[in-house]
Amino acid sequence: MASLNIVPLGGLGEIGKNMMSVEYGRNILIVDAGIMFPEADMLGVDYIIPDWEYLRDKKDLVRGIVITHGHQDHIGALPHFLQEFDVPVYASRLTRGLIEVRLRQRHMLQKTTLHTFAPGDVIQMGPFAIEPYHVCHSIPDAVGLGITTPAGLIVHSGDFKFDHTPVDGWPTDYAKLAEFSARGVLALLSDSTNAEQAGATPSEASLNDAFHQIMRQASGRLIVATFASLISRIQQVIDVARQYERKVAIAGRSMIENTQIARELGVLHIPDEALIELDKIKRLPAHQVLILATGSQGEPMGVLSRLAAGRHDSLQIQEGDTVVLSSHTIPGNEEMTQSVINLLFERGADVYYDPIAPVHVSGHGGQEDQKWLINMLHPRFFVPIHGELRHLEQHAKIARALGIADENIAVVQNGYVLTLDDGRLEVGERVPGGYVFVDGALVGEVGPRVMREREALGENGFVTVVARYDRRTGQLVGRSRILTGGFVYAPESGDLLDRAQDVIRSAGSVKPGTLSREVEDKVERALAHFFYRETRRNPVVRSAVMEG
């Protein structure tokens, strides 16, 4: 008999780029294919996608990919994935709409097979019967998955919370969870994002008070920055704005596209007269304007940092503006966020952000939500997913406290092969599960070395040496040219650069016949060493040693 393998390829040991492979025999089902936004020190990287190297030699075993919801950390890597894997995609209505936007941008819509499911449907895929069930999250049309396999029923929670008053009025499907429980759950894979938060996550409805208060007080324009994919938040902001007779302009391509598709599908309700185009807001008095804004990758800091720096094409902060940052901060970007907020204040805006004002609630359940799900499903095995290692460990503690045996809990990071066989859960070998950087059109060509080099360039600048070399004598000819950028101010560094000439000359003095390539290496190493000794800095050093 075959065994059931579960291989997390993203989202375990980190927040973002969620992806999981579920395998039985010669059949593979993929759940989600998301991106992760880069941390502040990943210079020039647009986003990061999962490393699916493990699947490359199993291409013909992949039966399809099921998407839990339309957030970027679940759908963002799909175009990249589908370029390599020609498999059908299954998604709910809104999720599908958001996927279509991304595929259309890359001219991939025509050649992709998309299937729409509704919660309650059963999708048959090889030996798997997949039952999506509705969950509350910060986007409509989100689901968790019951996956019946020959080994038993697996429940994948997706991202979830138990919100009793969600914006769309549709709570998590408790009845389905009870039904799964009655059937017996072999393993629960559950969202750990908020495993450090005591209590239950507040309802989305709890934000209404804060939005009302801010809109009542603001005398000028309101700019609300959020993620383009937080469709529920967009609805909420617009609903409150209408009560204060503010017209809403939407800034940022991804938010324009998302709201358009969500309106067409009837999951976002905005009458035409509530909207105004961004280039027409000057016609209205400031107190009747609300701008919903997002960055080029659909994240709020993109637009706020441009506004803070005065570098936005069509929007400038003016005295009396109120700016609301209605989102969480991407881990690793806390410092950048704070300096952007400072700059916005400096430009004369009033700024509201979490936790100064309750303008954001998480879409992920806290400890009490997590306990609810475990107790309701009563799984035999438990695998915490979606979170950094500390979140996964905390979630495991919660499961232990609820009576799940230690040996039935697997805390693993990306790439570990989990095997469910014969009533046992085993952690096997580790397959690749790291970062693939996407930088413009470059996918995977920007590795950790390039990243370190960009960091060094940013912090220490560069030094370039152009030298002439005579291979027959093994000596450099004449004086070399030294060009610097961002390292030392050349006119004031004559002495340092004079001594660098000596370093170059002696490094370039080699055995006759030595190749110029080797001379370059020697010169670069000697110079890097010299500059570090003299200045305690590490500029990027490059040399061009030409023969003749």
6, amino acid identity = I
CA diameter of the chain: 86
Among 32, 73, 131, 141, binds Zn ion (CB under 5 A): 73
Catalytic residue among 71, 137, 364, 386: 364
Q: Which of 17, 35, 45, 71 binds Zn ion (CB under 5 A)?
A: 71
Nearest alpha-carbon partner for 293 in 284, 305, 278, 303: 303
Neighbouring C-beta atoms of residue 188, cutoff 10 Å: 26
**Contact flag: residue 80 with Zn ion (CB under 5 A):** no
Q: How far apart are CA 183 and CA 343, in angstroms?
A: 56
Residue 204 sits in the site that holds Zn ion (CB under 5 A) = no
Classify residue 479 by its DSSP letter.
Answer: E
- CA-wise closest residue to 229 among 299, 145, 293: 299
In the complex, minimum distance from the CB of residue 39 to Zn ion, in angstroms, rounded to a whole number: 17
CA distance 490 to 462: 12
Of 98 and 276, nearer to Zn ion (C-beta) is: 98
Pick the stretch among 154-162, 210-218, 453-461, 516-524 that binds Zn ion (CB under 5 A): 154-162
Rule CB under 5 A: is residue 221 a binding residue for Zn ion?
A: no
Whether a cis peptide bond, with omega within 30° of 0, leads into 132 is no
Distance of closest approach, residue 50 Cβ to Zn ion, in angstroms: 13
We find the least distance from the C-beta atom of residue 417 to Zn ion, in angstroms, to be 23
Residue 135 vs 488, nearer CB to Zn ion: 135
Tokens of 147: 């996956």
- Are the C-beta atoms of 486 and 531 separated by less than 8 Å? no
Q: Are 132 and 143 in contact (CB under 8 A)?
A: yes
Q: Secondary structure of 338-359 in the HEC alphabet?
A: HHHHHHHHHCCCEEEECCCCCC
In the complex with Zn ion, the residue whose CB is nearer, 73 or 257, is: 73
Q: Which stretch binds Zn ion (CB under 5 A): 66-74, 172-180, 490-498, 524-532?
A: 66-74
299 sits near Zn ion (criterion: CB under 5 A): no
The size of the interface with Zn ion (CB under 5 A), counted in residues, is: 3
191 is known as an active-site residue: yes
Instruction: Exactly one of 191, 321, 369, 439 is catalytic; name it.
Output: 191
State the Cα–Cα distance between residues 207 and 530, nearest whole angstrom: 58
> Quick one: which segment of 40-48, 145-153, 159-167, 295-303 binds Zn ion (CB under 5 A)?
159-167
| Other C-beta atoms lying within 10 Å of the C-beta of residue 133 | 23
10 Å CB burial of residue 320 (0-12, 13-18, 19+) is middle
Interface map 22-61 toward Zn ion (x if CB under 5 A): ----------------------------------------
**Is residue 191 at the binding interface for Zn ion, with CB under 5 A as the rule?**
no
| 23 versus 159: smaller Cβ distance to Zn ion | 159
Question: DSSP letter at 474?
Answer: T
**Closer of 14 and 439 to Zn ion (Cβ):** 14
Minimum distance from residue 15 beta carbon to Zn ion (Å): 8
Residue 159 binds Zn ion (CB under 5 A): yes
Residues recognised as catalytic: 191, 364
Where does this chain bind Zn ion (CB under 5 A)?
A: 71, 73, 159
